[in-house]
Structure 1
Amino acid sequence: MFDSGPIRRIGLVVHPSRPLVGALDELRRWAVAHDAELVQVPAHGQEREVAPPGDPADCDVIAALGGDGTTLAALHAAAAVGKPVLGVACGSLGALTATHADDLYDALDRMVAGDWSRRDLPGVGVGVDGNDPHIAINDLVVVRKGANQVTVDVYVDDDLYVRFAGDGVILATPLGSSAYTMAAGGPILAAGTEAIVVTPVAAHGGSTPPLVVGANSCVRLAVDGGYAGARIEFDGHIKDFDPHSITTTWCPSFATLVRFDGAESALAGLRRRAIITDSPRVLARDARAEAAHEIEAAASADRAS
């Protein structure tokens, strides 16, 4: 449980194209009933306007209307001012959304009553070429700009791990470990693991397995972008610079999500969305067992009649 208290101002971050009428109607209805104000806070790539502009520092909660991508943008907007983010699924429930749009009114009532808890998310601070670090909540990606390969040297606490040429490299948090890095062959980290996953992308030869690095260690990348150069992405957003030297720092409790009791775990969510699936052999065994059970049940019913 968390402290209860009134919600006087709700900041909004919205999906660029999904239907939001139902969620906005619920918000406006709740705001009128509770004498609250709705404002739209600045977030990366947000051009759709649904409310007057406002400062996230003046909000009690930031509501992200859309899906996981929208919630990720809201987390960045809210982290700098220490505000919690309520992820609202306008579609299927994702890894970061806490409630469906249809249940938004009740979700806000639960927040006012203190019937919620914090889900603190770590970030990875990434310093590029000696500049102040950007923070990635999901992942940092270094990738080739053109038809060339990039060469990456990976160091952990100044110990060389591997040098390889390929499409690039991904540094992921536990939250981001089920996204791009998993698609590239990296492991999934269970929630609460304090570690970073380093996953080479399309390495050309050699032996370059993904690496899990503890949060207290520093990962350093030396990048040679070749003739076309390399680009860098933070949580899917491209930054306009060509990286050469990259270092990481661990940022515990960087951002805060609203969580309600009874929410599914991260692993359960991966199974529900079929991102993780059982092997065909196990499923075939279950099907045989179910068929045998049905045959036995039918035989028992015949004997009873």
Structure 2
Amino acid sequence: MTPSRIGVVVHPHRRLDRALNTLREWAATRDGEVVQIKVEGQDREVAPYGEAAECDLVAALGGDGTTLAALHAAAPHGLPVLGIACGSLGALTATSAEDLSDALDRFAADDWQRRALPAVAVTVDGHGPKNALNDLVVVRKGANQVVVGVEIDGEPYVRFAGDGVVIATPLGSSAYTMAAGGPVLGGNAPAIVVTPVASHGGSTPPLVVGAQSAVRVTIEGGWGGARIELDGQIHDYEPHELLVAWQADYATLVRFAGAETLLAGLRRRRILQDSPRVVARDEREAGAGDACD
């Protein structure tokens, strides 16, 4: 189906002229239009504003962060999001600005795949829920440590003092979770990973939790307090109790046949790398023939 109205969510600073011109020209030749969807914290204006509910497709112009914002804007209306890389290709972008016209043609011809993305739904002290596609982070606000308690299905897992905790989806497991020493979850794993951040002593390994489990987190912020970040966005809460649940099929990402997998993308961007010893062995074996000539 050819989209008659395309909503755009844009990066605050990157150059977007090529992608914007392609979108406008492609829509105009099909009697369509491009409108901008307003998102929190974004003041850059590139098109007349419109409502996401009135669009057929949401296009995210920028990178993975922009695509996350677009997914949240589109999710309540069940709209697919096309991530357009205006820079390097990321984990969520399906096409580059250079190949955008072809990508739009394929979308209009229904030559695309739906990538359903789960989220974690977070209730904060009885308020919410709020959804995170990547991760929920509880982090100290001051120089003090915070005390975090984690329960799974009503059973205590661990209590610790440290900088905070990261609770991530499979998508988010390769971001803050990985940086904090947690595991990377396979893209289709129906699981949540809970990773303590800089815990002070004790035994506090990261924990992988099944999607059907209920996660309860208690926070003692101390004199400095604690804050919450959902997909990197700071929220004005002083949290004491979090209830976290799996939300399947929260958002829809446009994907084309032959797109690289999550792990392939991580290796391409060198977020995952083979150990130096293995690389040296491969180089040595590759050059062995020349050494014996």
TM superposition score normalised by structure 2: 0.99
Give the counterpart of 1:235 among 217, 221, 231: 231
Matches within 5 A, 1:45-60: 45-60=41-56
Paired position in structure 1 for 2:25? 29
- Letter of the 1:133 partner, please give it: P
Taking the aligned partners of 2:89 and 2:223, their CA distance within structure 1 comes to 43
1:140 aligned onto 2:136: yes
Matches within 5 A, 1:35-184: 35-184=31-180
- Aligned CA RMSD, in angstroms, stands at 0.8
Taking the aligned partners of 2:182 and 2:38, their CA distance within structure 1 comes to 33
Taking the aligned partners of 2:290 and 2:83, their CA distance within structure 1 comes to 42
Taking the aligned partners of 2:61 and 2:206, their CA distance within structure 1 comes to 34
Taking the aligned partners of 2:93 and 2:41, their CA distance within structure 1 comes to 19
Taking the aligned partners of 2:289 and 2:240, their CA distance within structure 1 comes to 62
User: In the TM superposition, what is the alpha-carbon distance from 1:132 to its structure 2 partner?
Assistant: 2.1
Larger radius of gyration: 1
Taking the aligned partners of 1:256 and 1:293, their CA distance within structure 2 comes to 50
After superposition, give the CA deviation of every residue in 1:101-145 in whole Å (9 maximum; x if it has no partner).
011111000001110010000000000101121001000000001
1:6 aligned onto 2:2: yes
Give the counterpart of 2:220 among 205, 224, 231: 224
User: In the TM superposition, what is the alpha-carbon distance from 1:148 to its structure 2 partner?
Assistant: 0.5
Gaps of 5+ in 2: none
Give the counterpart of 1:275 among 260, 263, 271: 271
Taking the aligned partners of 2:128 and 2:29, their CA distance within structure 1 comes to 44
Identical residues among aligned pairs (%)? 65
After superposition, give the CA deviation of every residue in 1:42-85 in whole Å (9 maximum; x if it has no partner).
21221110000000011110000000000000000000111000
Taking the aligned partners of 1:143 and 1:293, their CA distance within structure 2 comes to 54
Taking the aligned partners of 2:217 and 2:260, their CA distance within structure 1 comes to 36
Give the counterpart of 1:293 among 281, 289, 292: 289
1:264 aligned onto 2:280: no
SS in 1 for 2:139: strand
After superposition, give the CA deviation of every residue in 1:218-249 in whole Å (9 maximum; x if it has no partner).
11011000011110010000110100000111
Taking the aligned partners of 1:222 and 1:42, their CA distance within structure 2 comes to 34
User: In the TM superposition, what is the alpha-carbon distance from 1:36 to its structure 2 partner?
Assistant: 1.1
Paired position in structure 1 for 2:12? 16
Change (3 A) 1:21 1:294: farther
Taking the aligned partners of 1:117 and 1:47, their CA distance within structure 2 comes to 32
SS in 2 for 1:282: helix
Q: List structure 1 runs of 4+ shifted beyond 6 angstroms.
A: none
Taking the aligned partners of 1:134 and 1:284, their CA distance within structure 2 comes to 47
SS in 1 for 2:257: coil
Paired position in structure 1 for 2:207? 211
